Structure 1
């Protein structure tokens, strides 16, 4: 069993599809993330505000109730104590005050008749003088000045503290001329309630985040589906399928975009159709004109051949006065014949009807035959290994070589050197002359049709189509021709033809445009 394999084209298509999928997923992911972030921000903000409001409400309510009861107990119990109470009196009063509905611990401090500090504590283990913050003790025992706005010398103060991870409320007050009292109330029940509230808000936030992600997924699918269809349609349009249209539904921005795409595609199809019609008409005109010119040109060529024979005859039957004119007619007739043939060849390339007739060739013999047929043996040096066989169209290769070598002899300088080598699987033929080279501003245009390097020389012996036809013949083989200047002087035209086994580039031959 053979293992599966992928062709380069298949790998490229797979990579293209993968990248397209990644881009699509990336856009979907960005939409989901944006939705999720907005929902998360809103949920966290709402949960934070709700938690803060509830926390303040719960703590304020508990705190106000405890401090209110403590202040009332101080007025009812501590205010009736003598100015210098005993430790037992303080202890009894503290126990009575601790029986309040708020269930706080009480600590009373005073001085006895001997000036010693005495302490009364309702819970020796839970509340001692060391548990009272120094700042709170100083504030409670500080006597305030009596004014219009301040009717009492001592005030009630409170502070929230944490001991061993448990929150407490500590309050303190002093009776005018009596003991100082402090209360300690645990806020652990309220902390547990607030913890439950935080968990509930956290769960609600997580559910909101999940819901927003699902809604974002649905919204992304709703938004990206038309965008995906638009992308597919754009790719089809780029592939030349100009009849591609989108089905439009709705009145939103995406529907407007689809309508705009359809109008653009319709206008593009019309313009391309008009351009194709004009190009076809122009190509048909050139082809018809070339065909129509061949019949009278054949007759004119026959006459010029007779005149040329008379010029070369020893009898000298042609008047010497008209001999220059006859030679001009003969030369221009040949040039016109070459132009017509080249126009017909260009027409076949433009129409896509040119085709290859491949054969196995000895490249050195083929180049030698091309040079010998045109009597260029004395002006051309060939550097090619004998016995190198290639599979090419011999007629089209001859056209390429004749144009490149003839161009080098005409516009360059002798000797012209033709070298053949192989680079990998490519056959490379370089044609170099020893002339002044090609101007840099001319190099990009040497293969353009009818291009003239100098505007002052609109006429030349050639048709202006030779290099263009040579390039088209290289393209139909799947190859390329490049022009450059050699560092050692002169111009170099390099023909590169692939030799790997592959389908040659050609179009189906039409009945009237085939090669002959």
Structure 2
């Protein structure tokens, strides 16, 4: 068992960098963002509550001290003034009241004996009646009804204001029983500075909490994502076919349980794949052995059928007319069985990975002409190909591809079949188009499947359903492909795309090469170049 420690060696540095960036911008980033948002919300909430509580406490304490002092001064000094004081008396008393421990500005209002309003100001003209809000003046001068719950007709009122961007506390009261009305003005700027300092401190604390939460989230993400990262590497290795990949399990948490589950799944998958591979190998070996074993009796039977066929074609007429249909059926079915065996052997070579290319520089137009001429299709095929288009290909396998495509078009679409060749960059494109009804849409995805036949009611058609599949495999081994479609003008179009310069592959072993040349013949034909093996439409 292997423990994944690093990225697979085949990965480029750029790909690793992209994946690392994607990993960071996914779960890791979300963890950091969530931690940060939670920490920010908690810190802002705590700081906001702390600031609000401290603000109320500071302001309440300051204003209570000022209002108590002002109320005491009103009782001790303002109430001792005569009912109709003079300007000097009011001015002197206001100055005395302002010298209290809280050091606030005082404004006293009264009427003299002539009914004129007189004003006493501790700070000359810096604190006037215009500085007192109208709502506060109205509340101070409003006489309240005296009752059991309200023993005084006048009360002390206060209000916080902002003047010139600075906070102030304004209070007012009226002397009960006749006398002046007094107002005070106290600056709250020292308290505001203290609160600003507190706000800055709380803001810094919030920022530090946010940074700490980000670092904590990074550490937590690393702890959590490291096993997940290992699991991702192991899963990729498993997907690449390294079925012995396992994870090292430590701990009893959910991630450890996930690793155990992965290991069990990988072990089960390895066993199933090994079992399937052994069964598939046995199946391939069975088909290959069966095909080889059938070739010996088929060779003898073929020789006999060839003799019978010669007797049928002889002018002497030595074959009894009553058994002639049976003889022709035996000849036809023997040829069909021989082709099936050869196709099965070719399929086993592809499945086993032993099929190789024997390449040569060929003129495509000459190659197609030779394929058509060998099968006597010259009158049924229209060729549109310029001579001189060269390509490095395996001539025998190209012949197999062309024989299947053209023969399939003739059998299912009818003549004339048009074969065109063109060059696209470093690619060779060969199109085979017929004039038939086309391929049903439900059949198109399956035309290259092995043993697939469009009509289930005709399981014993002339072909085995292997021809187009073998043609596709031969295209793949060249590094090319074949596609099937319906032409807008009618009929089916098979498009073969091959690279003009296929990378050289290991040549077939001598024994296989000799067997191909001497015994295999046309893999998808009838053995003598007069037919093709195709998937029925």
- TM-score of the two chains, using structure 1 as the length reference: 0.92
* CA–CA separation in structure 1 for the residues paired with 2:369 and 2:303: 31
- Could you tell me how far 1:14 is from its partner in structure 2? 6.0
User: What residue in structure 1 maps to residue 232 of structure 2?
Assistant: 231
Structure 1 residues 426 and 148, CA gap change in structure 2 (3 angstroms): same
* CA–CA separation in structure 1 for the residues paired with 2:151 and 2:16: 85
Alignment of 1:97 with 2:71, yes or no, is no
User: What residue in structure 2 maps to residue 492 of structure 1?
Assistant: 493
Structure 1 residues 507 and 53, CA gap change in structure 2 (3 angstroms): farther
* CA–CA separation in structure 2 for the residues paired with 1:117 and 1:309: 150
Aligned positions of 1:179-194 closer than 5 A: 179-194=180-195
User: What residue in structure 1 maps to residue 431 of structure 2?
Assistant: 430
Aligned positions of 1:68-467 closer than 5 A: 68-176=68-176, 177-467=178-468
- Could you tell me how far 1:73 is from its partner in structure 2? 1.5
- Could you tell me how far 1:439 is from its partner in structure 2? 3.0
Question: Deviation digits for residues 116-155 of structure 1, max 9, x if unmatched?
Answer: 2122222214323332222222222222111111101111
* CA–CA separation in structure 1 for the residues paired with 2:190 and 2:494: 95
* CA–CA separation in structure 2 for the residues paired with 1:417 and 1:141: 113
* CA–CA separation in structure 2 for the residues paired with 1:49 and 1:488: 79
Structure 1 residues 18 and 77, CA gap change in structure 2 (3 angstroms): same
3-state secondary structure, aligned to 1:304: helix
Question: Deviation digits for residues 6-65 of structure 1, max 9, x if unmatched?
Answer: xxxx99956644442232121222221221121111111111111111111111111111
User: What residue in structure 2 maps to residue 26 of structure 1?
Assistant: 25
- Could you tell me how far 1:158 is from its partner in structure 2? 0.9
User: What residue in structure 2 maps to residue 6 of structure 1?
Assistant: none
Comparing 167-176 and 246-255, the one that deviates more: 246-255
3-state secondary structure, aligned to 1:244: coil
Question: Deviation digits for residues 407-465 of structure 1, max 9, x if unmatched?
Answer: 22222222233222222222222223333333333333222222222222221223321
Structure 1, unmatched stretches of 5+, are: 1-9
Contact 2:480 2:496 in 1 (8 A): yes
* CA–CA separation in structure 1 for the residues paired with 2:488 and 2:38: 66
Contact 1:353 1:507 in 2 (8 A): no
Structure 1 residues 29 and 507, CA gap change in structure 2 (3 angstroms): farther
* CA–CA separation in structure 1 for the residues paired with 2:65 and 2:507: 101
3-state secondary structure, aligned to 1:262: helix
Contact 1:379 1:414 in 2 (8 A): yes
Structure 1 residues 152 and 385, CA gap change in structure 2 (3 angstroms): same
Structure 1 residues 104 and 435, CA gap change in structure 2 (3 angstroms): closer
User: What residue in structure 2 maps to residue 7 of structure 1?
Assistant: none
3-state secondary structure, aligned to 1:258: helix
Structure 1 residues 389 and 130, CA gap change in structure 2 (3 angstroms): closer
Contact 2:109 2:118 in 1 (8 A): yes
User: What residue in structure 2 maps to residue 3 of structure 1?
Assistant: none
Structure 2, unmatched stretches of 5+, are: 1-8, 517-537
- Could you tell me how far 1:180 is from its partner in structure 2? 1.1
- Could you tell me how far 1:344 is from its partner in structure 2? 0.1
Structure 1 residues 508 and 239, CA gap change in structure 2 (3 angstroms): farther
Contact 2:358 2:507 in 1 (8 A): no
Contact 2:288 2:348 in 1 (8 A): yes
Contact 2:357 2:506 in 1 (8 A): no
Structure 1 residues 267 and 81, CA gap change in structure 2 (3 angstroms): same
3-state secondary structure, aligned to 2:65: helix
- Could you tell me how far 1:338 is from its partner in structure 2? 0.9
Structure 1 residues 64 and 263, CA gap change in structure 2 (3 angstroms): same
3-state secondary structure, aligned to 1:153: coil
Contact 2:234 2:245 in 1 (8 A): yes
User: What residue in structure 1 maps to residue 520 of structure 2?
Assistant: none
* CA–CA separation in structure 2 for the residues paired with 1:333 and 1:108: 133
- Could you tell me how far 1:302 is from its partner in structure 2? 2.1
Comparing 108-117 and 425-434, the one that deviates more: 425-434
- TM-score of the two chains, using structure 2 as the length reference: 0.88
User: What residue in structure 1 maps to residue 6 of structure 2?
Assistant: none
* CA–CA separation in structure 2 for the residues paired with 1:165 and 1:316: 129
Alignment of 1:41 with 2:36, yes or no, is no
3-state secondary structure, aligned to 2:184: strand
Comparing 152-161 and 295-304, the one that deviates more: 295-304
Contact 1:445 1:451 in 2 (8 A): yes
Contact 1:353 1:510 in 2 (8 A): no
Structure 1 residues 117 and 510, CA gap change in structure 2 (3 angstroms): farther
* CA–CA separation in structure 2 for the residues paired with 1:402 and 1:137: 112
* CA–CA separation in structure 1 for the residues paired with 2:236 and 2:323: 66
Comparing 225-234 and 251-260, the one that deviates more: 251-260
Question: Deviation digits for residues 258-309 of structure 1, max 9, x if unmatched?
Answer: 2222222222222222222221111111011101111111122222223333
* CA–CA separation in structure 1 for the residues paired with 2:492 and 2:147: 112
* CA–CA separation in structure 2 for the residues paired with 1:155 and 1:420: 109
